[in-house]
């Protein structure tokens, strides 16, 4: 059974940093592109980052470029999102998702990040 | 950025009826490889999103064939035949042809 389990969320002050993790199991993690997608409270979905199978290529929207860094450890079947210079508008539930044929395939249960003083 | 316009924003339908949701993109979603990376997701209440259809018309694993997707270029439709109670939730279209990947604003399906 495919499982994606996010962790590392919480309450953080504006301007501070937080690192999310996503533990994958039930599939060959190293064969899949991976992504982070977020959802602000009562809002829609927003793509945050994508990483290639080897980790050599990463992609971000302008809203997080230069502040967020996606990375992966294939030996540990783990995905990460380092979030720096956090803003109130980064408050959201963050999901990790596998990408299959460029489609968001399996999703984790999500982890809440609240940016507030 | 590619803007994805979904209509209607909400639907109320009786069990057994059929419904259609429209998704229009501001640019063609045909990629350089000739494929169209337009997908449909369902987020049931309190749950994570789930893939329903990928690349316009391909059913995800375990998705009932009551769901179907059609369309091309910039105009796409999700059809649900014989709606069941478990189909309630918010439906999103998503494009992964162009960076940044973008989503529609969602269509909330309620059961009468």
Instruction: Kindly list the residues from chain A whose CB atom is less than 8 angstroms away from the CB atom of residue B1.
Output: 61
Q: Which of B36, B42, B44, B48 to mutate to test the interface with A (most CBs of A within 10 A)?
A: B48
| Number of neighbours of residue B51 by Cβ within 10 angstroms | 24
Set of chain A residues whose Cβ sits within 8 Å of the Cβ of B89: none
Query: Torsion angle, CA of A63/A64/A65/A67, rounded to 10 degrees?
Result: 140
Distance CA B31, CA B46 (A): 33
- Helix, strand, coil shares of chain A as percentages rounded to 5? 10, 55, 40
Model pLDDT, residue A10: 97
The first and second tokens of residue B95, run together, are 């494009």
- Residue A16: band (very low, low, confident or very high) from pLDDT cuts 50, 70, 90: very high
Mean pLDDT throughout A28-56?
98
Given pLDDT bands bounded at 50, 70 and 90, which one contains residue B107?
very high
Q: What is the mean pLDDT of residues B61-86?
A: 96
């Amino acid at each position: 059974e495919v499982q994606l389990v996010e962790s590392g969320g919480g309450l953080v002050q504006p301007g501070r940093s937080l690192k999310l993790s996503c533990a994958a199991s039930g599939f060959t993690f190293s064969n899949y592109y991976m992504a982070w997608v977020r959802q602000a409270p009562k809002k829609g979905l927003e793509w945050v980052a994508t990483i290639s199978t080897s980790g050599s290529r990463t992609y971000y929207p302008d809203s997080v470029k230069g502040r967020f860094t996606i990375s992966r450890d294939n030996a540990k079947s783990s995905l990460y999102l380092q979030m720096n210079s956090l803003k109130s508008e980064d408050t959201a539930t963050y999901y990790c998702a596998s990408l299959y044929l460029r489609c968001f395939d399996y999703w984790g249960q999500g982890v809440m990040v609240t940016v507030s003083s | 950025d590619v803007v994805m316009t979904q209509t209607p924003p909400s639907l109320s339908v009786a069990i057994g009826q059929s419904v259609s949701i429209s998704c229009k993109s501001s640019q063609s979603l045909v990629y350089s490889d000739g494929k169209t990376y337009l997908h449909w997701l369902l987020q049931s209440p309190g749950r994570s999103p789930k893939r329903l259809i990928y690349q316009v018309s391909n059913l995800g694993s375990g998705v009932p064939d009551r769901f179907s997707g059609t369309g091309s270029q910039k105009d796409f439709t999700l059809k649900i035949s014989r709606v069941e109670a478990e189909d309630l939730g918010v439906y999103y279209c998503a494009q992964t042809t162009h960076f940044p990947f973008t989503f529609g604003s969602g269509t909330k399906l309620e059961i009468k």
